[in-house]
Amino acid sequence: MAKNTNIRISLPAVCFVWQIAMIILFGVFIRYDEESDTHWIEHRRKKNISTNLENDFYYRYPSFQDVHVMIFVGFGFLMTFLKRYSFGGVGFNFLIAAFGIQWALLMQGWFHHLDEHDWKIKIGVENLINADFCVASCLIAYGACLGKVSPVQLMVLTLFGVTLFAVEEYIILELLHAKDAGGSMVIHTFGAYYGLTISWVLYRPLLSQSKHLQGSVYHSDVFAMIGTLFLWMYWPSFNSAIADHGDGQHRAVINTYLALASSVLTTFAISSISQNNGKLDMVHIQNATLAGGVAMGTASEFMITPYGSLIVGFCSGIVSTFGYLFLTPFMEKTLKIQDTCGIHNLHAMPGVIGGIVGAITAKGKLCGGYQAAALFVAIAFGLVGGALVGGILKLPIWGDPADVNCFDDDVYWEVPEEDENFLSRHPNMNHATSIPDV
Amino acid sequence: MAKNTNIRISLPAVCFVWQIAMIILFGVFIRYDEESDTHWIEHRRKKNISTNLENDFYYRYPSFQDVHVMIFVGFGFLMTFLKRYSFGGVGFNFLIAAFGIQWALLMQGWFHHLDEHDWKIKIGVENLINADFCVASCLIAYGACLGKVSPVQLMVLTLFGVTLFAVEEYIILELLHAKDAGGSMVIHTFGAYYGLTISWVLYRPLLSQSKHLQGSVYHSDVFAMIGTLFLWMYWPSFNSAIADHGDGQHRAVINTYLALASSVLTTFAISSISQNNGKLDMVHIQNATLAGGVAMGTASEFMITPYGSLIVGFCSGIVSTFGYLFLTPFMEKTLKIQDTCGIHNLHAMPGVIGGIVGAITAKGKLCGGYQAAALFVAIAFGLVGGALVGGILKLPIWGDPADVNCFDDDVYWEVPEEDENFLSRHPNMNHATSIPDV
Amino acid sequence: MAKNTNIRISLPAVCFVWQIAMIILFGVFIRYDEESDTHWIEHRRKKNISTNLENDFYYRYPSFQDVHVMIFVGFGFLMTFLKRYSFGGVGFNFLIAAFGIQWALLMQGWFHHLDEHDWKIKIGVENLINADFCVASCLIAYGACLGKVSPVQLMVLTLFGVTLFAVEEYIILELLHAKDAGGSMVIHTFGAYYGLTISWVLYRPLLSQSKHLQGSVYHSDVFAMIGTLFLWMYWPSFNSAIADHGDGQHRAVINTYLALASSVLTTFAISSISQNNGKLDMVHIQNATLAGGVAMGTASEFMITPYGSLIVGFCSGIVSTFGYLFLTPFMEKTLKIQDTCGIHNLHAMPGVIGGIVGAITAKGKLCGGYQAAALFVAIAFGLVGGALVGGILKLPIWGDPADVNCFDDDVYWEVPEEDENFLSRHPNMNHATSIPDV
């Protein structure tokens, strides 16, 4: 029954081989674009650009940094809620995001930005944002698997996830010409179904053996709120980061701000009404409050009107909270899908809502059709890709934990041990108190 | 003695009714402004604007996001310091801010931005900042009531608080033509007296019954420092967010940066000198260090000079720390005002200092007089508004906790329980550890 | 053996005297520059500047705020990892940074920005960034001394540190005309050797008496990750904040982003390979992942190419992690240097790497020579300055703790005590479990 979780060879090997591969591929393919290269001055002169401020850097850098915070602190801390998996939550998020952004620059570059003259990918700040976006889909998928996979499996999940993302994104944005500035479909729907399918393939029938570790403690819930709030606050930047300069970015911010505010209220309402005593559940507050941002991803730039945004947030907050209440337990029991963070409720359903909203509000019947087609592409890539990658991750070579050791940082981390001398000298200390012997 | 704190009907009802009202009112009144609307391109052409960068979005978006962080993480985490009210601190802050910003867009819109031609409110990024500002006054008021009110009461407090704010702001900025870019008077003074008066009306004679929960524990104090630091760091953005383009915003940042730095030093000094052994008190460090930002709110744009800013911070740090040492206990005993977070010290007194500094440094005797009048308006609105709203909140229908249950998340939240099996299996763990019985 | 750690007179005295000195010196020397002064409008007209956006404020303010977050939350929370020194970590960081930025505005102003006509220092947003940079070097030095010095000693360390920094920076940037936009040499190398030399002078032979406090607990490690991530995410802003407008800032961001991503992977790899069971060590993840940012400080603006940046991060992550594994214990045992945070691994070695990378990639042999000379100046200032200041700090008048009381917040802070009534009423609570009845 005991599994070998020693990753002393495999993790360093994967990290080194892949990082060296990145260096070689970057050496062959990646260069600065005309706005980040010293040729910028000539470019300015040639194009008669009057000021350095017209460098795309100044349009997008503040949004980029906000997105960057969402990826590393937002997703990272949102996954610290488990009582003994905070290291793994924030730490593995850090690892796979740092790898994923490099691979995303290459994959997205090959599909979207390959210069036909010299076969180089020219990168600037918009590429950095897109790389962060791409990685977000893999971090969403991690949410379904949190606590049940090894870091090596996560690296594999990310390698294939980024690859699938780049293809899917190419089909949706370049072939179908669909709009999806904030990625309701491309990022959230794809990422969620990718992760859920992997989790379904990796189903653990005896996961209840680690049930005692599947909950939070008081302070881990407060840590998770750091993640929630940075995601919530910066979501307007997420949905506007690559929107059109000028009114496009401006409108995307307003729409997202309103949708998020609205979903907070319906989340609190449903959370309270669902308990006998009206008590609120931190799981809902940490997650479903964000549904408005997800659901506004496709239509963020559209003239959806301020009250339209409120309605989107209103509905998605309700749907997402109901998901945590009824769907997650149903999926676990009936569909054999174990979804640690409830990504189906936070990303899959609101993402699909976002895709539908986009299809409805897109101008013209044809556009609406292409938007709907895009949604199906995202779902299909998630399901098929997840099944394939799940199959690979099922091989018994990746060092994943036994069912009884899931959700335990002790498997992959040196966890600090309490010093008993310290305790006995400070008997009144608040963190290191004792259990009455019965 | 036992009170009914079941909010299973009232909280969802308030959330749903008010959110639906918001949707309807937004539908009737709120539209994009000319810079966030697709007409921006025509507007640019008509006004001969050469670049998208002149869209106000690019002047104000970075400041907006900083203010947004202050509202949700800054205020939210500052209120996590209590040992068992961190969920309520950060969670209810989240709820009322998300509601308040919607109501503020309407109220401030009706008073300041109503288009006379079509009776619509046209919103852009500056409105989002102003909505965040407006909500700040209600969050300040929450600080006085922290741990003693139900979320339904907080929703009522916010509904009326935003309403009062919009009227007071209209009188001060539009009728008196006073300057108050960072809101020393409009936000801090009003918000603080509003909250203090409510707390006075809701006086709880037997609050000492929950005294064991009125303190912090080690880690909750560290959580609160997250709030403190994000408020402190981003306060220059707060005081410059709606200042004039160009030198106005630039100067507001410098002045606020310096005032804040100065108040840190005097806070540490007074905190240390006030204890027999010179030990520092986290309550002072978490709060009084921010007094410089509050006190620089009115005059932030003025040519107050860099050393003038240092003097403002110097004085407000001292006054604020002395407030925590002497005034808060005095107010509780003598004036029957129970001020959980000490908002009198952090917002009321430094806010009044800010108003006075503004009146003194405003150009011209007349201007100075209007600034002084504005300060009185802010105080009056706080006192009278607080008395009225306090009266409403005293009705026995809002589900507030009994004196013995104050400051306890267990009343309104599902608090995670410790799993004893877990403990007994991990006897050496640092959070739930045991001391060997000798 | 017992030392007098009462700082009730000394700390307030230092804070007051120095803050008053700051006010006087600011009154004599510091004024707004032409972009933060009301004369900006005339300046614009005179120089024919078409828009307020050309005010340097709009080029640099977003980066400034990111740097500000790194100084106060980044460095502050990185130093919360000790189980009982989180208050001192984040609190004293706050104190000395707030003082240091004021003194830095003066010192850097005298050396770099003194107006020859009126002998005034004219400040704007770039000066604020530089002041934050300057203080960073002292916070790095604090890392070596964490837990072993009094706040009064830290104020002295900062006073001299800022002074030395300004001179060293003047020599490197103005006399040698070396490039160092992100301060690999000026900030990191200098700061690290300054702190290490001080720590060497203040060597404590019996420090093992407080060994029980030298580790982390589970939640303090998560707190430290807040610091790590904000440093990591915003490092591109650090290295680009004072880079040239346009492509310079743009390229610095790309290079730093890539170097950091790369060092994450090699850090995880070396951390895992170094343990028998492949388990990861939080100390490495919290620190060595940042080495790429440090090492990219000098060459951030250069045309170092994207894959060049990856290589820099690759190497510095390895070197830094090996430092934590082998060098820190070696230095403590053999060289008698006690380096609490391992700044030699995070700042000294990557800083030197950064200086060397700069010397190699600088255009022209001569430039390369000056870059190399700059590196020696930084090291020399650190060593000699540290020896002098260490000597001063060795005087028995500063209230530093006894060896047995190091790493204990209880020496300088009112630490909250657990309330026993609370415990006995909530026997199942996770944070406040009970004390065995004797």
Window 174-213 of A, Cβ < 8 Å to C: none
**CATH number attached to the domain at C61-413:** 1.10.3430.10
Q: What tens digit of pLDDT does each residue of A345-401 get?
A: 999 999 999 999 999 999 887 888 999 999 999 999 999 999 999 999 999 999 999
The minimal CB distance from A233 to the residues B62, B68, B151 is found for B68
Q: How far apart are CA C352 and CA C220, in angstroms?
A: 30
Q: How far apart are CA C90 and CA C117, in angstroms?
A: 42
Fold of B58-410: Ammonium transporter fold (1.10.3430)
Would you say B75 and B139 are in contact if contact means Cβ atoms under 8 Å apart? yes
* Listed range (A19-33, A409-423, B281-295, C365-379) with the worst mean pLDDT: A409-423
> Which residues are within 8 A (CB) of A215 and not within 5 positions of it... i.e. 6 or more apart?
A82, A83, B416, B419
pLDDT averaged over every residue in chain B: 93
Q: Helix/strand/coil (H, E, C) string of chain B?
A: CCCCCCCCCHHHHHHHHHHHHHHHHHHHHEEECCCCCCCHHHHHHHHCCCCHHHCHHHHHHHHHHHHHHHHHHHHHHHCCCCCCCHHHHHHHHHHHHHHHHHHHHHHHHHHHHECCCCCCEEECHHHHHHHHHHHHHHHHHHHHHCCCCCHHHHHHHHHHHHHHHHHHHHHHHHHCCCCCCCCHHHHHHHHHHHHHHHHHHCCCCCHHHHHHHCCCCHHHHHHHHHHHHHHHHHHHHHHHCCCCCCHHHHHHHHHHHHHHHHHHHHHHHHHHHCCCCCCECHHHHHHHHHHHHHHCCCCCCCCCCHHHHHHHHHHHHHHHHHHHHHHHHHHHHCCCCCCCCCHHHHHHHHHHHHHHHHHHHCCCHHHHHHHHHHHHHHHHHHHHHHHHHHHHHHCCCCCCCCHHHCCCHHHCECCCCCCHHHHHHCCCCCCCCCCCCC
Mutation pick from C4, C19, C426 vs chain B, by most beta carbons of B within 10 Å, is C19
Q: How far apart are CA B135 and CA B145, in angstroms?
A: 16
The minimal CB distance from A218 to the residues C59, C253, C430 is found for C430
CA C399 to chain centre: 24
In what helix (H) or strand (E) does residue C233 lie, and over which residues does it extend? helix C218-240
Paired tokens of C166: 């300004």
Mean pLDDT of the region C211-238 = 97
- Domain range annotation of chain B: 58-410
Inform me whether the pLDDT recorded for A428 exceeds 70. Answer: no
ipTM of this complex: 0.94
Interchain CB distance below 8 Å, A253 and B419? no
Which chain C residues touch A436 with a CB distance below 8 Å? 427, 434, 436-437
> Which residues are within 8 A (CB) of B74 and not within 5 positions of it... i.e. 6 or more apart?
B227, B228, B230, B231, B234
Paired tokens of B72: 């949700």
The minimal CB distance from B6 to the residues A236, A278, A437 is found for A278
Paired tokens of C385: 């300055």
Q: What tens digit of pLDDT does each residue of B167-186 get?
A: 999 999 999 999 999 999 99
Around C3, how many Cα atoms within 13 Å sit in the side-chain half-sphere? 19
- The values of phi and psi at residue A233, to 5°, are -70, -40
Task: Tell me the residue type at A4.
Answer: N
Fold of A19-38+58-403: Ammonium transporter fold (1.10.3430)
- At residue A260, the 3 state secondary structure works out as helix
Q: What tens digit of pLDDT does each residue of C65-100 get?
A: 999 999 999 999 999 999 999 999 999 999 999 999
Nearest C-alpha neighbor of A176 from the set A355, A389, A304: A355
Q: How far is C23 from chain B (nearest CA, A)?
A: 5
Assess A426–B contact: CB distance below 8 Å, yes or no.
Answer: no
Chains in touch with B (3+ beta-carbon pairs under 8 Å) read A, C
* Listed range (A312-321, B39-48, B230-239, C18-27) with the worst mean pLDDT: B39-48
Nearest C-alpha neighbor of C297 from the set C264, C342, C245, C346: C346
Inform me whether the pLDDT recorded for C419 exceeds 70. Answer: no
Inform me whether the pLDDT recorded for A422 exceeds 60. Answer: no
Inform me whether the pLDDT recorded for C386 exceeds 90. Answer: yes
Which chain B residues touch C123 with a CB distance below 8 Å? 254, 306
> Which residues are within 8 A (CB) of A406 and not within 5 positions of it... i.e. 6 or more apart?
A147, A148, A204, A207, A210, A213
Q: How far is C176 from chain A (nearest CA, A)?
A: 23
Inform me whether the pLDDT recorded for C203 exceeds 50. Answer: yes
The minimal CB distance from A8 to the residues C62, C246, C277 is found for C277
Q: What tens digit of pLDDT does each residue of B358-401 get?
A: 999 998 878 889 999 999 999 999 999 999 999 999 999 999 99
In what helix (H) or strand (E) does residue A31 lie, and over which residues does it extend? strand A30-32
Interchain CB distance below 8 Å, C245 and A437? no
Window 136-175 of A, Cβ < 8 Å to C: 151
In what helix (H) or strand (E) does residue C31 lie, and over which residues does it extend? strand C30-32
Q: How far apart are CA A358 and CA A352, in angstroms?
A: 10
**Cα–Cα distance list, B381 to A7, A406, B169, B395 (Å):** 64, 56, 10, 22
Confidence of residue A157 (pLDDT cuts 50, 70, 90): very high
- At residue A180, the 3 state secondary structure works out as coil
Assess B25–C contact: CB distance below 8 Å, yes or no.
Answer: no
Nearest C-alpha neighbor of C133 from the set C79, C177, C62, C75: C75
Would you say C270 and C283 are in contact if contact means Cβ atoms under 8 Å apart? no
Q: What tens digit of pLDDT does each residue of B118-174 get?
A: 999 999 999 999 999 999 999 999 999 999 999 999 999 999 999 999 999 999 999
**The tokens 């006030």 sit on which residue?**
B274
**The tokens 């020696």 sit on which residue?**
C376
Q: What tens digit of pLDDT does each residue of C328-339 get?
A: 999 999 999 999
Interchain CB distance below 8 Å, A430 and C427? no
- For A250, the closest chain B residue by CA position comes to B36
Mean pLDDT of the region B294-305 = 96
Q: Report, in angstroms and rounded to the nearest whole number, the Rg of chain A calculated over CA atoms.
A: 22
Residue A366 CB burial class (10 angstroms; 0-12, 13-18, ≥19): exposed
Interchain CB distance below 8 Å, B233 and C125? no
CA dihedral C66, C71, C77, C80 (to 10 degrees): 170
What is the structure's pLDDT at B363?
A: 83
The minimal CB distance from A91 to the residues C234, C266, C285 is found for C285
**Cα–Cα distance list, B291 to A56, B90, B318, C27, C173 (Å):** 38, 21, 9, 21, 37
**Cα–Cα distance list, B210 to A354, B199, B298 (Å):** 46, 16, 38
Residue A396 CB burial class (10 angstroms; 0-12, 13-18, ≥19): exposed
Would you say A238 and A187 are in contact if contact means Cβ atoms under 8 Å apart? no
Q: How far apart are CA B318 and CA B305, in angstroms?
A: 21
Nearest C-alpha neighbor of B175 from the set B373, B36, B422, B350: B373
Which chain C residues touch A101 with a CB distance below 8 Å? 257, 261
Around C253, how many Cα atoms within 13 Å sit in the side-chain half-sphere? 34
Which chain B residues touch A213 with a CB distance below 8 Å? 422
Task: Tell me the residue type at C349.
Answer: M
Assess C49–A contact: CB distance below 8 Å, yes or no.
Answer: no
Assess C119–A contact: CB distance below 8 Å, yes or no.
Answer: no
Q: Report, in angstroms and rounded to the nearest whole number, the Rg of chain B calculated over CA atoms.
A: 22
Which chain B residues touch A56 with a CB distance below 8 Å? none
> Which residues are within 8 A (CB) of A227 and not within 5 positions of it... i.e. 6 or more apart?
A73, A74, A75, A76, A77, A78, A79, A80, A286
Chains in touch with A (3+ beta-carbon pairs under 8 Å) read B, C
Assess A364–C contact: CB distance below 8 Å, yes or no.
Answer: no
The minimal CB distance from A19 to the residues C232, C262, C423 is found for C262
Mean pLDDT of the region C266-282 = 95
Paired tokens of A363: 């101008």
Q: How far is C141 from chain B (nearest CA, A)?
A: 20
- For B49, the closest chain C residue by CA position comes to C51
The minimal CB distance from C431 to the residues A26, A51, A430 is found for A430
- For A257, the closest chain B residue by CA position comes to B128
Q: How many residues does chain B have?
A: 438
Which chain A residues touch C50 with a CB distance below 8 Å? 50
Inform me whether the pLDDT recorded for A309 exceeds 50. Answer: yes
What is the structure's pLDDT at C276?
A: 84
- The values of phi and psi at residue A123, to 5°, are -110, 150
Task: Tell me the residue type at A198.
Answer: I
- At residue C121, the 3 state secondary structure works out as strand
Q: How far apart are CA B338 and CA B330, in angstroms?
A: 10
Paired tokens of A74: 């937002």
What is the structure's pLDDT at B50?
A: 82
Q: How far apart are CA A344 and CA B210, in angstroms?
A: 41
Q: How far apart are CA C160 and CA C388, in angstroms?
A: 10
Nearest C-alpha neighbor of C134 from the set C109, C117, C156: C109
Assess A11–C contact: CB distance below 8 Å, yes or no.
Answer: yes
Interchain CB distance below 8 Å, B416 and A59? no
Check residue A280 and report its DSSP letter: B
What is the structure's pLDDT at C365?
A: 78
Q: What tens digit of pLDDT does each residue of A287-297 get?
A: 999 999 999 99
The minimal CB distance from A11 to the residues C217, C269, C303 is found for C269
Assess B63–A contact: CB distance below 8 Å, yes or no.
Answer: no
